[in-house]
Amino acid sequence: MPEVAVVSDTTAYLPSEVTEENGISLVSLYVNFGAGDTQREADIRDYAAFFDRLRSANEWPTTSQPSVGDFIEVYEPLLAEGRDVVSIHISGGLSGTHESARQAREALERDGKGGERVHVMDSSTAAGGLGMVVLAAARSAARGADAASVVAAAKQAREELKMWFAIDTLEFLKRSGRIGAASAWIGSTLKIKPILTVESEISPIERVRTSARAFERMVDYARQRKASDADGWVVQHIQSDEQGRKLADRCREIFECEPLYYSEIGPVLGVHTGPGLLGVGSVRARQYE
């Protein structure tokens, strides 16, 4: 068993086989549809039903970070095993998850339960970007690295990674209030197909007019990353598996290898972006050897 345990949250959307194989523990965020109707993201299995409900919702749902207690519940058993913990989370510009983790670490340290052995990192990204950072940390831990080296591996992956998302409309980001710097595109441009990234907050990259053009731009980005020798790649989607698999097939041709993982983004980020998202990103594969 590695001496360092890696913890993240559900907004990485890592497939279960990846978390299990790499010993990654997850803390769940929440979706709130109103008083008395709060669900843990980890408990929502039927994404199609969730997005059907989202489309017809009279009151727009909100999302919320894990509680301090949620983190303590995950950290305590790992610390009791004598392990250090590296806990890596969705950007603090999008969620208070990192702050909850930090408070949990302080509470455990105050109570004499080993909180000083918890190292909390704000990934300044989300979804596939977060997943690649977390996976780099987990692979480093599996090689027997100490906590400082695991954190260093995560930071190096974060510095190297690029992740892009093409979405159908800005309307969901506008309604959820998480539109960030892309707010400059609001107005007559709501019908465009925006391409975004996450650099602490949601940041606009470019605008295209059609879904087909957005798809080809995702392919172009993959080619750019291959040319930069960043060939550890992921593809993600929201309720667009057919297009996601087509994009993954194109990426296999470009990178000449299988993805680090392929997955669907779930409810917490889906509330803010809506269905129809396609995402592609990469980092240098040596991080995962």
- Domain range list for the chain: 4-29+64-159, 162-288
Q: Give 129's contacts (C-beta < 8 A, 6+ positions apart).
A: 123, 158, 161, 163, 198, 281
Q: Give 143's contacts (C-beta < 8 A, 6+ positions apart).
A: none
pLDDT at residue 205 in the model: 84
pLDDT at residue 177 in the model: 53
Which residue is it, tokens 């972006």?
Answer: 273
Q: Identify whether the C-beta of residue 250 lies closer than 8 Å to the C-beta of residue 215.
A: no
pLDDT at residue 174 in the model: 65
pLDDT at residue 238 in the model: 97
Q: Give 238's contacts (C-beta < 8 A, 6+ positions apart).
A: 51, 264, 265, 269, 270, 273, 274, 275, 276, 277
CATH fold label, 4-29+64-159: Rossmann fold (3.40.50)
Q: What is the DSSP secondary structure assignment for residue 65, as one 8-state letter?
A: P
Average model confidence (pLDDT) for the chain?
Answer: 91
pLDDT band at 76; cut points 50, 70, 90: very high
Mean pLDDT of 56-62: 84
pLDDT at residue 182 in the model: 46
Interatomic CA distance for residues 194 and 268, integer angstroms = 20
Residue 121 Cα distances to 7, 66, 146, 177, 237, angstroms: 10, 15, 15, 25, 25
- Residue with the bigger pLDDT between 204 and 39: it is 39
pLDDT band at 123; cut points 50, 70, 90: very high
pLDDT at residue 194 in the model: 85
Please count the other Cβ atoms lying within 10 Å of the Cβ belonging to residue 259: 18
Q: Identify whether the C-beta of residue 72 lies closer than 8 Å to the C-beta of residue 114.
A: no
* pLDDT of residue 35 exceeding 80: no
Per-residue pLDDT tens for 172-212? 666 655 545 445 444 445 567 888 888 877 778 888 889 99
Which residue is it, tokens 């510095």?
Answer: 159
- 165: which 2 tokens? 């998302």
One-character DSSP codes across 118-143: EEEEE-S--HHHHHHHHHHHHHHHHT
Query: Which of 262, 268, 228, 278 has its CA nearest to residue 132?
Result: 262
Q: Is 229 left (phi over 0), alpha (psi -120 to 50) or beta?
A: left
* pLDDT of residue 130 exceeding 50: yes
pLDDT at residue 253 in the model: 98
Interatomic CA distance for residues 62 and 91, integer angstroms = 17
pLDDT at residue 188 in the model: 45
pLDDT at residue 191 in the model: 67
pLDDT band at 170; cut points 50, 70, 90: confident
- Report the interhelical angle of 97-110 vs 68-80 (nearest 10°): 50
Q: Identify whether the C-beta of residue 194 lies closer than 8 Å to the C-beta of residue 182.
A: yes
Question: Is the full-model pTM beyond 0.85?
Answer: yes
pLDDT band at 226; cut points 50, 70, 90: very high
Interatomic CA distance for residues 268 and 175, integer angstroms = 14
Per-residue pLDDT tens for 19-33? 999 999 999 999 998
pLDDT at residue 163 in the model: 95
Interatomic CA distance for residues 153 and 136, integer angstroms = 6
Output the CATH code of domain 162-288: 3.30.1180.10
Interatomic CA distance for residues 206 and 217, integer angstroms = 10
